[in-house]
C-alpha cells in the first residue's frame, strides 16, 4: 500500500504555498500558514487573516492581536500576579534584539507572548517573564 512520505508532503506544500501567496496578498490577506498531514492521505490546512496594520506594523486582525484586544492578559510571574498593560506595537528588547509586541498566542501556555523581530520580521514567542519588560517599555 502506497503512502505519502514526509519529504513528498513538504515539497507539495511548499509548491502550493508559493502559488497562493500572491492570491492572498491581492485580497488583502496576510501570508498564509500551511499545515500538512501525510501518511495514508495528504492533508493541507491553510490559515490567513485580513491585514490591518497598527503601531509598529502589527496586524491588528491577527488572531494574537484580536485575543489580546478582547481579553487582555495576566499571569503569575515570580510568585506574583502581573497584568500586561502594554499596547500592541510596543517596542522592547530581548537578548540584544528589538521586537514589537504583537499579541497573545492563546494556545501556547509556556510561551504566550508574541514578539515580531524589527529587523527580520520573524515571530518569536516569549514566556510571561517578559511582561514586566513590556510594561516598562510602554511607559
pLDDT tens digits, one per residue of 56-108: 889 999 999 999 999 999 998 888 899 999 999 999 999 999 999 999 999 99
- Where in the chain are the domains? 6-47, 55-138
Q: What pTM, to 2 d.p., does this model score?
A: 0.76
Q: What is the tens place of the pLDDT at every residue in 4-14?
A: 999 999 999 99
Strands of the chain (E only): list them: 33-37, 43-47, 73-77, 80-84, 91-94, 97-104, 113-117, 123-126
Q: If you compute the radius of gyration of the chain from its CA atoms, what whole number of angstroms results?
A: 18
CA-to-CA separations, 98 to 11, 26, 88, 101, 111, in angstroms, rounded: 33, 30, 15, 10, 18
Model confidence pLDDT, tens digit, residues 27-67: 999 989 999 999 999 999 999 999 998 988 899 999 999 99
> Residue 2 has what pLDDT?
80
CA distance 126 to 120: 17
Amino acid at each position: 500500500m502506497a503512502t505519502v512520505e514526509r519529504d513528498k508532503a513538504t515539497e507539495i506544500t511548499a509548491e502550493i504555498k508559493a502559488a497562493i501567496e500572491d492570491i492572498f496578498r491581492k485580497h488583502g490577506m496576510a501570508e498564509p500558514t500551511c499545515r500538512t498531514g501525510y501518511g495514508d492521505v495528504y492533508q493541507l490546512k491553510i490559515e490567513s487573516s485580513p491585514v490591518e496594520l497598527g503601531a509598529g506594523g502589527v496586524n491588528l486582525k491577527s488572531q494574537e492581536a484580536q485575543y489580546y484586544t478582547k481579553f487582555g492578559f495576566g499571569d503569575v510571574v515570580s510568585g506574583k500576579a502581573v497584568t500586561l498593560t502594554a499596547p500592541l506595537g510596543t517596542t522592547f528588547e530581548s537578548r540584544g534584539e528589538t521586537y514589537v509586541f504583537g499579541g497573545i498566542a492563546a494556545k501556547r501556555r509556556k510561551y504566550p507572548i508574541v514578539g515580531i523581530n524589527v529587523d527580520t520580521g520573524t515571530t518569536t514567542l516569549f514566556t510571561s517573564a517578559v511582561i514586566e519588560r513590556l510594561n516598562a517599555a510602554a511607559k
